[in-house]
């Protein structure tokens, strides 16, 4: 019996096929920094540093070690170049999955609460970039990033915090995502239900899901 749906962002609300390649094509000189970022993110998967400040410092330091750049240069690159590049590429090449607007409105009409939970920050900016306007964003009770919560998926604490903010018990939350090792495992650890979708699916199918 579902009272809230927690949606992953990348690969769930839009098909993110070829995103790493498109980022490199947009900024080819940053290719090795992007590779270092991906390696560090993989190493930090599931680790809980409790605060955004602690996670971010450790995360930037690891990218620094992998790339040979200073921590300050990595921070500047990540916050002022990499995330901005991601938003730019999304706005030019990606669009929200068909039917999401109608789906969100139906969920709200049925008193089902909605949350968006992404590993990367700048979630609202990235939502806008794929065409999720302010009206659609306002249908979401919580919009959060794992990095800003101090723990990358599948660490369970951020999932549980979101459920608490929604005012819904974990067992009445449905997590919708495209990855078993992050979204699925995080949902399982938090005692939530999970619906896996394929990144290239045409529409998110809720048939068989029982809502309160």
Residue 129's H or E segment, with its range, is helix 123-129
Q: What is the pLDDT along the chain (212 residues), one digit of tens a residue?
A: 899 999 999 999 999 999 999 999 999 999 999 999 999 999 999 999 999 999 999 999 999 999 999 999 999 999 999 999 999 999 999 999 999 999 999 999 999 999 999 999 999 999 999 999 999 999 999 999 999 999 999 999 999 999 999 999 999 999 999 999 999 999 999 999 999 998 777 677 776 666 66
Residue 143's H or E segment, with its range, is strand 142-145
Nearest Cα to Cα of residue 59 among 123, 126, 121, 12: 121
pTM score, whole prediction: 0.94
């Amino acid at each position: 019996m579902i009272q809230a749906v927690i949606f992953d962002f990348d690969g769930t609300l839009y098909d993110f096929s070829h995103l790493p390649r498109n980022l490199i094509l947009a900024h080819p000189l940053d290719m090795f920094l992007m590779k270092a970022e991906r390696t560090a993110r993989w190493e930090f998967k599931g680790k809980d540093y409790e605060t955004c400040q602690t996670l971010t410092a450790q995360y930037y330091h690891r990218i620094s070690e992998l790339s040979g750049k200073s921590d300050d240069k990595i921070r500047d690159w990540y916050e002022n170049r990499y995330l901005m590049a991601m938003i730019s590429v999304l706005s030019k090449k990606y669009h929200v999955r068909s039917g999401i607007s109608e789906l969100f409105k139906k969920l709200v009409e049925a008193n089902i609460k909605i949350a968006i939970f992404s590993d990367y920050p700048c979630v609202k900016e990235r939502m806008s970039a794929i065409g999720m306007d302010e009206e659609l964003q306002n249908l979401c009770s919580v919009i959060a990033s794992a990095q800003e919560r101090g723990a990358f998926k599948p660490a369970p604490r951020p999932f549980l915090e979101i459920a608490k903010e929604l005012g819904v018990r974990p067992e009445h939350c449905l997590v919708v995502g495209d990855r078993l090792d992050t979204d699925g495992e995080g949902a399982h650890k938090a005692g939530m239900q999970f619906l896996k979708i394929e990144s290239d699916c045409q529409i998110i199918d809720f048939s068989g899901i029982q809502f309160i």
